[in-house]
Structure 1
Amino acid sequence: MAEVARGEALKGLRIVWLQSPPWDGLWTRQNHFSRRFAADGAEILYVENPVSFGRRIGEGAGALTASVRRDVEPGLYVMSLPIQIPGSPKSGAIGKLNGARFASAVAKWMRREGWERPLYWCRLPISVEALDRLPPGPVVYDVTDDYAHYAGAEGERALTIAREDRLMRKAGRIFTTTAALAERLGAINPKVQVVPNGVDPSFFAPAPDGEADPLAQVARPRIGHIGLVASWMDLELLAKIAARWPGQLVSIGPVKPEVQAAYEAIPGLIRLPPVHNLELPRYLRALDVCIQPHLALEVRHRADPLKIVEYMAAGKPIVSTALRSLEPLRDVVELAGDHDQFLAAIERSLADADPALQTERVRRARERSWDDLYGSVRAAVTDLVSEDGGK
C-alpha cells in the first residue's frame, strides 16, 4: 500500500485498537478508520485478535510466545498477541486469564513507548477482559454484529451478553452499523451513534487504460462473490448457482475451517484466495453480477454487509439473500427470499443491466464514503477525549 501523508490535526492522541481482525486480512472498518486517524496525526497501536492454537502451531514454535510490533504506516503499529489458551468464549475463568496475558503484552509496550491514558477502541465483547486490566482511559465500543447470536450454547450466549454489558458501561461512545443494534444497545448506554459500513474512494476510480483482466480465464457471464466464507454462507445455494453456471461462478476470499470441506466440494465453482483491498475494484470491474448468498440467520439480519456497499460502488447488478438490514437498498439490490428467486434474479440481472440503476448504485455508495463516515467518528472521538480531560 502506498504510504499516506501524515497530518498533525490529532497530534498527541493515542489509540489502542483492541483485538481487531488481522491487519493484512480482509479489510474491515477497523482498517479504514484506524489508518485515517493515523493520517490525521494520531498514534495507533492496532492489536490483532489472537489466532487459534492450531493455527499458531502451524506457523511454528516461534509464534507461540512472541508479541510483535511492526510499523505499517506512519504512526500506525500492529501488534500480534501471544498465543491464547483455548476456551475464552465459553469460560469466564479462561477469558480472564487470556485477558490478563494480553493486557500484560499491551501494557509492556505502552510503558516502553511512554503511552499514558490512551483511548481504547474495542470491537468485541471479549476485549473487556483485557480492558479491565489496562491503565485507565476513555473507551469506544464499535459494534458491527449482535455477537450473542454467534454463541453455540446458552452458557456462551449468557457470558457474551454479560461481557458486552460490562463493556457498554465503560464506553463513552458507541458506534453501531445498524439502527437495530443501536436501538438494543441504547437501552444500556444512550451514547450510541449509527455509523454504517462504507466504501473507499478508490472504488469509484475509472479503470486505467490497458488494465489487465484478472479473471481472463473465466468465461462470461461472470458471477462473483467476494468476502469471507463462513457458517453463514448458504453453500447449498452456492452449489445451485455453480451448477447453473459451471466455471463462471467465482468466489474470492478466505474460508473458515468449519466449512472448508463442504465449500471445496462444490463442483463448477472457481475458488480464488483473498486479494488486497486495493485490488478489489479491479476484480469487481471484471464481474457481471455480484452476489451475497447468505443464510437468512438472525445475526445476518442485524449486520450491515460491507461488501454490498463495495459492489454498489462498482455499479454492478447485485443479488442478495433478503435481509432486513438491506431493505432500504431494495431498489438497487435484488433481494431473494429463496433459492429459486435467487437464481431468477441472477438471470434477470444478466439479461438487463440497466444503466440508470448502475448510476444510482454508484450515487448511493458515494453517500457512504469512508472519508465522510470518518468525519463523524472523528468528531465523536474528539468530543470524548475532551470530556475525559486526562482524568
Structure 2
Amino acid sequence: MPPFDSIICVGQTTWEGDFQKAVVQLMCELAVRHRVLYVDYQHTAKDLLLGTLGRQKDVPTRAVVRLDNPLTTKPGKDGSLVHVWQPPVMLPINFLPPTLHDPLLKLNAGRLVSGLRQVMAKLGFKRPLVINGMHPVLGLALLGELDEAGTIYYCFDEITIARWMSKHGGRYEPDYLRRVDAVVTTSETLRQTKARLQPNAFCVKNGVNFPLFNQARILAEQHPPTRPVVGYLGTADDRVNVDIVEHCARTMPDVTFQFIGEIKEPAITQRLGTLPNVVFTPPHQPANLPPLLAGLSATMIPFVCNAHTYTIYPLKINEYLAGGLPVVSTPFSILDEFTGIVELADTPEAFAKALRHALADQAPAQIQARVEMARGNSWAHRAKEFEAVFAQLMHKASPTS
C-alpha cells in the first residue's frame, strides 16, 4: 500500500448517538495525526419518509435533501477536527432479493461516489486510505472509485450472524476480503476467521474513552452509592442471558439491577419488568453516562455463550473498568487478558455468587488495578495499534522492503 494523504471512513453507523461507537472513537483519535472524513450513515428514502412523519428519530432530513450543508466538522481529540459528510438519500435495497438488490446497489454506489469526489476535491483529499466500517456490500462497489491508496476492512462482528447485515453481507464479504489490502478485527477469534481469506489480518481490540468513563470513579469517591446496584450498560438484545439475570434478581432481592440503554430483546422486559428490583434507564448521551455509572456498585456482562458472542470483544468491559467498577461476566469469549480483574461465571447460581463477591470487593488496590487495565486499553492506544497496521502495509509495498 503506497503512502496516503488522508483517511476516508465509510461506516454503517451515524456519527451522533446515545452510545459510544468504536469507529467514531477511532476516527476521533486518528484525526490528531491525519486528515479524516467520516461518511455518515446512508439514510434511505424510507428513513426520510419515516423521519418526516416523526416515526423515526434522529434522521437529518435537511442535510439528506441538501437544505442544510451535508459537510460539517466535529471535534476529534486534542483539538483536532473530523469532517463528517451526510450522503444523499439512497434507495432502500437491503430487503430485496439478490437479483434486484445488486443492480440497484450500483445506483446507490454511483450517487455516493459522485458526492464523495466533490467532497474530496473541496477538502483536497487526493490519495485517501479508505477504512470500511463493517459494510462490505458498499465497500465492494467503492473499490477503485476514489483514487484510494488502499482499503482496510474494519470488521467488528461476524456478519453472517448479525441480523442487520447477514442477508447480503454474507454474500459480499468473502470477495471483499480477498480484494482489500488488509482486514482489522476487534477480536482474535474474528481475526483467525477472516485470515482464511485475507492474509493481512490484524486484531485491534475495542478501546475505551478513558478520560470520560474514569470520571465515574471520581464521582463515586465523592458520593459513594448508598445501596447495592448492579448495572448493565449498552444495548440489551438477544445476547443477554435472561435466565441468569432473572435468577440473580430473584435470589438477590436486596440488590437493584439496572439496565442503562436501549432494550431490543422483548424477553428482557417481559420477564424482568415485573420484578421490583429491576429498573430500566433509557439511553443517554455518552457525556451523561459517568454520573449513572457512579451510582453502580458492580457491573455485569451476562451474555449467552454461542458462536456469535464468541467473536465479541465488548466496549462495555473497559468502560466499566475505567470507572473502577467490579465486573462479572459469562465466559462468552476469549477474555484471558482480564484474568484476575474480571470474574467469570457460567451458571445462574455461580453468577449470583460472583456478584455477591463483586459487591463486597471494594479494596483500593483492586479498584486501581481495574482502572489501570482500562487506561492501557484506551482508544488513544488502539489508534496507535491501527497506525502500526498502516505502517506495516506501506512497508510491505515499499520497493526496498
Q: TM-score range by the shorter chain?
A: 0.7 to 0.9
Partner residue of 2:334? 325
> Structure 2-normalised TM-score?
0.79
Provide the secondary structure at the position in 2 that maps to 1:233. coil
CA 208–312 in structure 1, closer or farther in 2 if over 3 Å, else same? closer
Question: Among residues 51, 63, 70, which one is paired with 2:72 in the alignment?
Answer: 70
Provide the secondary structure at the position in 2 that maps to 1:315. coil
Partner residue of 2:112? 105
Provide the secondary structure at the position in 1 that maps to 2:86. strand
1:135 aligns with 2:157: no
Distance 1:229 1:197 in 2: 18
Partner residue of 1:18? 10
Partner residue of 2:324? 315
Provide the secondary structure at the position in 1 that maps to 2:308. helix
What one-letter code is carried by the residue in structure 2 that aligns with 1:118?
P
Distance 1:52 1:231 in 2: 29
Partner residue of 2:20? 27
Q: In 2, are the aligned partners of 1:38 and 1:44 still within 8 Å (CA)?
A: no
Provide the secondary structure at the position in 2 that maps to 1:372. helix
Partner residue of 2:50? 58
Partner residue of 1:183? 192
Q: In 1, are the aligned partners of 2:260 and 2:283 still within 8 Å (CA)?
A: yes
Q: In 2, are the aligned partners of 1:96 and 1:129 still within 8 Å (CA)?
A: no
Partner residue of 2:157? 145
5 Å matches for 1:330-349? 330-349=339-358
Q: In 2, are the aligned partners of 1:95 and 1:126 still within 8 Å (CA)?
A: no
Distance 2:371 2:180 in 1: 35
What one-letter code is carried by the residue in structure 1 that aligns with 2:35?
A
Provide the secondary structure at the position in 2 that maps to 1:316. coil
Q: How many percent identity over aligned positions?
A: 20
Question: Among residues 255, 264, 285, which one is paired with 1:256 in the alignment?
Answer: 264
Provide the secondary structure at the position in 2 that maps to 1:251. strand
- Give aligned pairs, total: 372
CA 33–319 in structure 1, closer or farther in 2 if over 3 Å, else same? same
Distance 1:19 1:78 in 2: 11
1:220 aligns with 2:227: yes
Distance 1:211 1:134 in 2: 53
The runs of 5 or more residues in structure 1 that have no matched partner are 1-10
Distance 1:63 1:308 in 2: 35
1:36 aligns with 2:43: no
What one-letter code is carried by the residue in structure 2 that aligns with 1:71?
T
Distance 2:255 2:220 in 1: 25
> Structure 1-normalised TM-score?
0.81
Question: Among residues 371, 374, 381, which one is paired with 1:372 in the alignment?
Answer: 381
CA deviation map 1:349-382 (0-9, x unaligned)? 1233343332222222222121122112123235
Q: In 1, are the aligned partners of 2:343 and 2:354 still within 8 Å (CA)?
A: yes
Partner residue of 2:242? 235
Distance 1:250 1:95 in 2: 44
What one-letter code is carried by the residue in structure 2 that aligns with 1:273?
P
Q: CA deviation at 1:237?
A: 3.2
CA 167–12 in structure 1, closer or farther in 2 if over 3 Å, else same? closer
The runs of 5 or more residues in structure 2 that have no matched partner are 54-59, 76-80
Q: In 1, are the aligned partners of 2:42 and 2:90 still within 8 Å (CA)?
A: no
1:118 aligns with 2:120: no
Structure with bigger RCO (C-alpha 8 Å, 6+ apart)? 2
User: What is the root-mean-square deviation in Å for CA atoms of aligned residues?
Assistant: 3.5
Question: Which is further off, 221-230 or 328-337?
Answer: 328-337
Distance 1:256 1:22 in 2: 18
Distance 2:39 2:74 in 1: 10
Q: CA deviation at 1:41?
A: 4.0
Partner residue of 2:311? 302
CA 89–131 in structure 1, closer or farther in 2 if over 3 Å, else same? farther
Distance 2:297 2:237 in 1: 24
Distance 2:27 2:380 in 1: 12
Partner residue of 1:163? 172
